[in-house]
A and B are shown apart, each in its own frame.
Chain A
Amino acid sequence: MSKKVLMSGNEAIAQGAIDAGCRFYAGYPITPQNELPAYMAAHMPEAGGVFIQSESEISAINMVFGGSAAGVRAMTSSSSPGISLKQEGISYIAGAQLPAVIVNIMRGGPGLGNILPSQSDYFQATRGGGHGDYRSIVLAPSSVQEAYDLMSPSFEMADKYRMPVIILGDGMLGQMMEPVSIHRKKQVRVPKEWELSGCKGRRPRIAKSFYLKDGDLEKANIALQKKYRLIEHKEQRYEGLFLEGAKIIVVAYGTMARIARSAVRRLRAEGKKAGLLRPITLWPFPKDIIQRLTDQNKQPVILVVEMSCGQMAEDVCLAAGGRTKVDFLGRSGGGIPTEEDIIKRVSRLCR
């Protein structure tokens, strides 16, 4: 079944999750993602799933822990300050090797910040965020359609690797309405070999992240790291535009990439050899393509554009490894660099 519907990013993420087989959602109100839990409240029961408005963000993420341990695809959503509250729970989910999807529709910070779109939770999302040696897979959609489309691979990766997957959007993406092509597949829940279901006919199972005996935790952490290396090798995703032979490469993700795309097209029309690299996975960061372009395109200039004071820029620098010039353009606290800002900066860099 496929049909086209006009919906906001928040609604598309909710519908995408339901269509991906998500059957447990818990969340707490916070702007600018409130359409998401409202959509879940309306539609999750129809899909035979559970919706709970929790008493706090902390409770919501721990409910996700429980729902996931019980074997269903489980999700929560929030915005920046609420995501900070969830970090402890995300760490437990990573430690217990449970799958979960966490949506962060970012707003300005630090603190209560404001409710304008922002990309300033990049560090938090890509570096683990909570305590301990762990990672989350981070996906950054840049359109409402892509937000819908990424939900299915998010849940699949969460299940496959048994770890948290974060959808990192921003208030612009969450609020913006675009036509979305809905494609439902029939979902059959496959019982998981580790799920808690009662020990009928088998040995008891335990969902836990606690390893008290000396050496056990290190062993568990080494196993996690092995999994992370595999993901870094296999799951880097990006979209490229005019990358071959580009002398200036603009790197931007999410909402920022939409603006950067328009700027790059205008620059091309002006005859400048500009290209766009849009990371779709922020962790694993698509460093291989940056390394390849740095070598192939003979040290192109890289311009990182973000709605933050420069967070992804650090990953770009790490990937470029000092072999080429990396410049940064960004605004914070709800400010958004414009096409003109990007074009002006690129023109200066080309001089």
Chain B
Amino acid sequence: MSARSSTAHSVVEPSSTSKLVASVLVVVYALVTMIPLFWIVVTSLKSPPDSISYPPKIVFTPTIEGYCNLFTNQTRQTPEFLATLPPATTACEKVTRERNMVIVGPSNFTKRFFNSLVIAFGSTALSVFLGTIAAYGFSRFKVPLKDDLLFFILSTRMMPPIAVAIPIYLMYRELGLSDTKIGMILLYTAVNVSLAVWLLKGFIDEIPREYEEAAMIDGYTRLQAFRKVVLPQATTGIVATAIFCMIFAWNEYAFAVLLTSGDAQPAPPFIPTIIGEGGMDWPAVGAGTTLFLIPILVFTILLRKHLLRGITFGAVRK
């Protein structure tokens, strides 16, 4: 739309100096904020003494000891006892033996990570399912008190999690849902369904009604039209919503630490309790954090285009 002279920059297009300055500042900010994350990953590759050396070591010999400590339980033995054992087979065993320790079994981390996966996937599936159909209902039909219901759904997220946890704790105790994966899935679904309804309503609102109405003229029932016309078009929205719900369930801590114990405990309450022989085993904590981060990083990249929508409950669309 601009047919301006080539010497002056378009008034809306920034000058190349301002672009350069902006890029330098942004890149500096991005790199500075990445330093803590970088340090986490680096720490996961250090040996425990290296991780607590002072001043902090930038140059060190990397080792997988952090990851080994994360996944196994070990005890300290005397060198004489170690000499009587058969030679170490796996890489982790070799590293552990060097510290005069012996692997006695797997740690709880794998189970906790698995719990995180199950609870996150389960609650996401359920909340996206409920959210999609409820959003369709709100979008297409005249529901009495629709705005009030929608606001009520939003307001359920205003309670501090600890506050919600008090009666849920009592309720679950009576129902026998304490420390169960099903209990956590239900709870996370209830929290996520508000987000799901708001987001999906926004997505479904954008699908013109005429498509379904045309399909119904062709003889489809409402349900069939929903399945065959609306759902395929809403797929991106559904996937984006699913990922947001997943991120909440994956990262959640307060409910997890209060309502789970050994059987259903997911990873976030577990990672800050990984101790070594003295205080915290920072390489193992770093290893746990790094592994826990990877799905999130993948999702961030997949979700780039929809992030804005998700974090504002659909109020803002780019």
Our verdict on whether A and B bind, yes or no, reads: no
Question: Measuring CB to CB, which residues of chain A are less than 8 angstroms from any residue of chain B?
Answer: none
Question: Measuring CB to CB, which residues of chain B are less than 8 angstroms from any residue of chain A?
Answer: none
